[in-house]
């Protein structure tokens, strides 16, 4: 057969070569048929049994999660259970069956279409993508109604099996922990979808947003998945296979070699120490942090403790979570970012508020200052946990010095309340600020005077500096970390930190990109915080760097105005030793 290629969004790097296994899309198989009036009760019972079966299945999957599973997996299952138990899906379809005298499959699909249509009206990209969770839950119910068996069956040797689907639910993806599949590719999904998040945590080559892969690929077709480039090659020639096998072998060899430097200190060739930290979302992520050889935790995204639930975690629950991480890390630093809720990260607190433009609305520190009781609860929990380890506090999305001073005032009140109760905490706990708004970068010298450390959040800094929604595929090609304005904002922040002898870190996606490592440390960054799976690749770049030899090139680069020229110079910097 003639080879052809498909292009999507690569969300997890690496090369996989194997046979395609198509996962059935139950929604496409649903047809409407009439139910005799005397059989309506039986049809409703069939629907109720399917809902109960899916509930049992999801709870079973959650109970069987390995102890070292990524922490977000349990949260995904909880989300699907919450959707399943919502009356819009578990109750209203019964009325449709009764009123329209139709089959259960058609009733729940019709109700799903109504619910999904409501999601399509939401402007926020992250919330729009949550409609996929609704679809995935309904698809599980329909599979039961249609009598389908488990859709992820082993048809070939697992290491040679590539799953092809319209979309894969987090619950189905959990099977990857027990079965070593080569890769998966989907028609749907985006860079912020649960599917993409899962693929990165499971560390297998994955591509989403292929649009028509499931329709164009046949069961048992030989396919190549290039997760790095976001390309799928179907029915490759022997020559193409040989080419990609060489790339695959080289990739695998490099991953094995990286393990050799796990215990090496992260120091440049000219003796500059570069601290490599890990980003985490939940306490269970500590397992992958320790496996990576990270020097500590540079970013604990606490909002994930608040997500996928209808209530707010109380002080004791938060305290136990922070304490668990602090104790596990020992003397290694743990930087806890206060609640960065809003925009693409919704919590029960956000559900009370609406904004025409969530990314520019009441979020992060703004939201915390507007909800002082919630903020005080979190600060008390963090302070209480500080006596059990080396904890630092990081405030997100600061934009003005008055905002920072309000924040520090509430922190002092939290300390005073604990002193009054004779509760111990680290009286000298360090506090830092996220520089992720252009206004903050321009005013970095002011923030540096009032904070113990600065941390650059490059994801939002790029988004706000370039006026680009990084979750919008229509403009994602304009999202460029090497834009001269972005680099100058970063350089300005670094200069301000150095001027007042404050430590400076980067904790956005740029920190975990090996192609940018040499540039960032030559610019003066002392700490990089990233997903644990990226640490060894970045360390490899650090070990082969000489800041002294790169400094002249960086000065030249910061005076360039064209992205293509900057990219060319970055390549030269990466070739330097």
220 within 8 A of 19, measured Cβ to Cβ: yes
556's CB contacts (< 8 A; 6+ apart) are 569
235 within 8 A of 40, measured Cβ to Cβ: no
What is the Cβ-side half-sphere exposure of residue 480, based on CA atoms within 13 angstroms? 11
Q: Give the span between the Cα atoms of 250 and 535, in whole angstroms.
A: 19
- Of 21, 102, 507, 534, the catalytic one is 507
- Beta strand ranges found along 396-464 (DSSP E): 430-435, 453-456
Catalytic residue flag (residue 498): no
Q: Give the span between the Cα atoms of 192 and 101, in whole angstroms.
A: 39
Catalytic residue flag (residue 194): yes
Which tokens hold the place of 519? 């540039």
Give, in degrees to the nearest 5, the angle at Cα 430 between 424 and 436. 135
Residue 553 burial by Cβ neighbours in a 10 Å radius (0-12, 13-18, 19+): middle
Residue 320 burial by Cβ neighbours in a 10 Å radius (0-12, 13-18, 19+): middle
- Of 194, 275, 531, 534, the catalytic one is 194
571's CB contacts (< 8 A; 6+ apart) are none
Put residue 452 in one of left, alpha, beta given phi > 0 → left and psi -120 to 50 → alpha: alpha
Cβ neighbour number for residue 260 with a 10 Å cutoff: 10
Find, among 516, 512, 547, 546, the residue nearest to 528 by Cα. 512
Classify residue 273 by its DSSP letter: B
Sign of the C-alpha dihedral computed for residues 518, 521, 522 and 525 taken in this order: positive
Measured distance between the N- and C-terminal CA atoms of the chain, rounded to whole angstroms: 46
Catalytic residues, by residue number, are 194, 507
């Amino acid at each position: 057969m003639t080879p052809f290629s498909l292009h999507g969004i690569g969300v997890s790097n690496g090369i996989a070569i194997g046979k395609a296994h198509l996962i059935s899309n139950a929604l496409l198989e649903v047809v409407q048929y009439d139910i005799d009036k005397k059989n309506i009760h039986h049809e409703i019972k069939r629907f109720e049994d399917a809902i109960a079966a899916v509930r049992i299945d999801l709870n079973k999957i959650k109970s069987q999660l390995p102890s070292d599973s990524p922490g977000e997996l349990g949260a995904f299952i909880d989300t699907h259970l919450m959707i399943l138990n919502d009356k819009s899906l578990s109750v209203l379809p019964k009325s449709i069956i009764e009123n329209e005298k139709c089959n259960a499959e058609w009733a729940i699909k019709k109700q799903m279409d109504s619910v999904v249509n409501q999601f399509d009206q939401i402007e926020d990209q992250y919330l729009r993508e949550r409609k996929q969770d609704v679809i995935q839950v309904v698809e599980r119910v329909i599979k039961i109604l249609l009598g389908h068996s488990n859709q992820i069956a082993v048809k070939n040797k697992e290491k040679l099996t590539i799953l092809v689907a319209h979309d894969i639910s987090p619950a189905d993806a959990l099977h990857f922990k027990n079965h070593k599949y080569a890769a998966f590719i989907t028609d749907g999904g985006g860079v912020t979808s649960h599917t993409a998040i899962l693929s990165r945590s499971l560390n297998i080559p994955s591509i989403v947003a292929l649009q028509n892969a499931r329709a164009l690929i046949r069961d048992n077709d030989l396919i190549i998945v290039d997760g790095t480039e976001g390309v799928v090659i179907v029915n490759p020639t022997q020559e193409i296979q040989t080419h990609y096998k060489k790339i695959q072998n080289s990739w695998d060899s490099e991953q094995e070699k990286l393990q050799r430097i796990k215990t090496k200190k992260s120091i440049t060739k000219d003796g500059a120490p570069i601290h490599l930290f890990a980003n985490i979302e939940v306490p269970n992520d500590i397992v992958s942090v320790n496996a990576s050889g990270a020097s500590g935790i540079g970013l604990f995204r606490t909002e994930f403790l608040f997500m996928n639930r209808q209530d707010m975690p109380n002080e004791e629950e938060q305290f136990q979570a922070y304490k668990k991480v602090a104790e596990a890390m020992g003397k290694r630093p743990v930087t806890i970012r206060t609640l960065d809720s809003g925009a693409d990260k919704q919590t029960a607190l956000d559900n009370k508020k609406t904004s025409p433009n969530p990314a520019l609305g009441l979020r992060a520190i703004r939201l915390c200052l507007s909800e002082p009781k919630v903020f005080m609860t979190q600060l008390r929990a963090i302070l209480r946990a500080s006596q059990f380890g080396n904890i630092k506090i990081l405030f997100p999305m600061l934009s003005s010095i008055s905002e920072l001073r309000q924040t520090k005032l509430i922190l002092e009140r939290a300390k005073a309340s604990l002193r009054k109760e004779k509760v111990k905490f680290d009286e000298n706990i360090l506090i830092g600020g996220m520089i992720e708004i252009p206004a903050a970068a321009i005013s970095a010298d002011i923030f540096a005077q009032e904070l113990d450390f600065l941390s650059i959040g490059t994801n939002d800094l790029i988004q706000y500096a370039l006026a680009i929604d990084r979750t919008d595929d229509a403009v994602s090609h304009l999202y460029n970390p090497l834009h001269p304005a972005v680099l100058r904002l970063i350089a300005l922040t670094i200069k301000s930190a150095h001027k007042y002898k404050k430590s400076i870190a980067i904790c956005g996606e740029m920190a975990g990109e090996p192609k940018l490592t040499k540039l960032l440390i030559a610019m003066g960054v002392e700490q990089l915080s990233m997903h644990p799976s990226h640490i060894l690749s970045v360390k490899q770049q650090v070990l082969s760097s000489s800041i002294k030899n790169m400094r002249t090139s960086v000065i030249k680069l910061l005076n360039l105005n064209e992205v293509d020229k900057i990219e060319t110079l970055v390549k030269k910097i990466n070739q330097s030793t």
